[in-house]
Amino acid sequence: MSLGERDQRVYATVCSIPLGRVATYGQIATLSGMRGMARQVGYVLFDVPSNSTIPWHRVINARGEISQRSEFGAELGQRHRLELEGVQFDERGRVCLNTFGWNPDGDCEEKKQTDLWE
DNA sequence: CATATGACGTCCT
DNA sequence: GAGGACGCCATAT
């Protein structure tokens, strides 16, 4: 089984998400050179095994929620992984993208913002 | 080739 | 904010 170039790009982008940060599917799509194809990103991640070195758990949907999968309870595992990295969830089970969202360009500035805020 | 489906996103009520 | 319509496109049947 050979991996397509599209999958490689997505893997590379996902792997560049910093620890304790999350990115949306659309964001991954754009950064991988396939804007508007968020759905395809989800499809690619579907084939990634949960024990993979790829930080697939840092990818969530645009609403800051963990997308529901076919497998029951899989979302809980993803949430657990993120919490171990310091990502906080609100009472409704959502992540504040404004705080934990990954900004590839001005990640440092955004980090300063959160430091000042805390 | 026509349809259905899905780890999504945006826009409109 | 919730819910629905539509868009997008690779895969499966």
Question: What domains appear along chain A, each with residue ranges and CATH number?
Answer: 5-117 (1.10.10.10)
pTM for the structure as a whole: 0.89
Q: Kindly report the CA angle at A107 between A105 and A112, in degrees rounded to 5?
A: 140
Token readout for A70 is 């076919």
Residues of chain A with pLDDT under 70: 1-2, 107-118
Question: Nearest nucleotide (C1') to the CA of residue A37?
Answer: C8
Please tell me the predicted confidence (pLDDT) of residue A109.
56
| Nucleotides on chain C within 7 angstroms of protein Cβ | 7-11
E-strand stretches of A1-118 = 23-24, 59-60
Residues with CB under 7 A from strand B: A 24-27, 38-43, 45-46, 48, 50, 56-57, 59, 61-63, 67-70, 78
Protein-to-nucleotide distance from the CA of A117 to the C1' of C7, whole angstroms: 38
Please tell me the predicted confidence (pLDDT) of residue A72.
82
Alpha-carbon span A3 to A40, nearest angstrom: 14
Any strand C atom closer than 7 Å to A39 CB: yes
